[in-house]
Homo-oligomer: A and B are copies of this chain.
Amino acid sequence: MSNKRTKNQEQILKLINNNSEEMSAQNLHFQIQQHGLRIGLATVYRTLKLLKIEGEIQERVTPDGESFYSTINSVYHHYHHLNCVNCGKSYPMNICPLSQKITDWCHSQKFKVYYHTLEFFGLCAACQDQDIASECLSAN
Contact = CB atoms under 8 A, between A and B. Distances in A.
Contacts of A46: 137, 140
Interface residues of A, number: 55
A67 B58 contact: no
- This chain's copy number in the assembly: 2
A63 B69 CA distance: 12
B114 A122 contact: yes
A124 B54 CA distance: 13
Contacts of A50: 133, 136-137
A52 interface: yes
Contacts of A32: none
A49 B137 contact: yes
Contacts of A55: 85, 122-123
